[in-house]
Chains A and B, each alone.
Chain A
Amino acid sequence: MKVQYKPKRNLLGTIFQVEILQGMALTLRKLFSPPITRQYPDEKPPMYAGFRGQHALVRDPVTQDSKCIGCMRCVTVCPSRCIRIRCQQDAKGKQKVESYSIEVLRCVFCGFCVEVCPVGAVTMTELFEYASYDRESLLFDKETLLKNWDRFLEESAHDENYVNPFWRPRGVPEASLAASQRMKVPADWTIEGQFIGTSLRQPQQNGAITHTEADHA
């Protein structure tokens, strides 16, 4: 980067303090420009796809229960170890999830659990206002997580199919994705169509991944 220096101030500029006047002109211009303040409790910020908000367990519309199969992948991948699952095998040898809890106060909101879930059971909603005065209410058990999902569906415009395509793990071939993650996504959400910044794009153009040009052509 080349540093751009201002031309040296001449005597006339010093006498009339031109730089101060320029600064004053800027603030005066800004006085009449609309403020960028968002009056928060009245005006909510816009939500973008893949926002990592409150956790929820997707309620299966058929069984009215969680989709979780107790594979323990989320427990394993969780860097802050805030997920706890207890499973039991019933008489037929089928695994049944007894309890599922997320300790939100320890969660770092990395979203790994959502990415790794093979059935799309755990997800993160767009809700972010759930501050509380005690710790107990922030330890979400299975029932609370299911209720979080119901509340999210009720309050947002999303429907049952919201398990965010944004959570597709990157760079994994379509065939090796879990079935629930093989959903259609817009072109700019795929790894090829995504803008990742100039420094990362360079090797792509040199031949490592050439889908971008092919797609555009």
Chain B
Amino acid sequence: MTATMSSGGTASAAGLHKPRPSRHRRGRDRSTPLSIIVWALALYFLLPLVWLAIASTKNTGDLFSTFGFWFGDSFALWDNIQSVFGYKDGIFGRWALNTLLYAGVSAVGASFLATMAGYGFAKYRFFGSNAMFSIVLGAIMIPLTALALPTYLLFSSAGLTNTVWAIIVPSLVSPFGVFLMRVYAADAVPDSLLEAARVDGAGELRTFVQVAFRLMVPGFITVLLFALVATWNNYFLPLIMLNSSDLYPLTVGLAQMQSAGTSGGGGEVLFSTVITGSFISIVPLIVAFLFLQRYWQSGLSAGSVKG
């Protein structure tokens, strides 16, 4: 990662504090061939989701007998939604709430921990700080799934598997978040401001809460979004940690529904139910993305240019 760290800070500071105005006047200077290629690629990303949306309006009969990219004879979206939420006495709703709980608590917790640690590493010198940060940085490369197995065994011997803690506690640690926040804090929080606060007699904690944290909010939200997506999408950890389906998040629940559907055993599930369940589970995240997308960029321009 050496190469990624060595570039200077001026570019990122520019990106951070004053976003560059659009440098092209509207309507001029557009290239049609370029637009066609870009939009062909955009369709590649969109079409599978369009298919999913259309398929969730069909009953199983139409799913097999009508073309995938057009509506069927029936409009069964409402029936499908009912059968998703009616599956096994409404366990789907339970899974959705679990996902909200796991992702929400983990993401908020992980971002606060990362923000505090990043600020501490960026603005203070203390015994072992460089060594500690190097170890955290090295941990970005550790495949988290390689850790899931020993973590499972440790939790298992402590009797903590099959609890919400088994999902939340491991998800609170985000080495990449600490790295991002360290870079962000170094840029966004001027030392002179901290000094001024100290001269005014503010304690270190108060300086952090009232002065520094406000300046770090965009970076904080970026880390929050990353952590949110990581936990929301996590499949491996809950798969091995949990065995009662009451505690499953949506990912594990949907996978279980799918295998019940394909195996054709006793708990058979209709294709249309799995498809509609998948569709319902991605709607909230996509909506959140559309509203929060500018934060990805603002926090990342600090993190990626420098690091």
The answer to whether A and B belong to the same complex is no
A-contacting residues of B (Cβ < 8 Å)? none
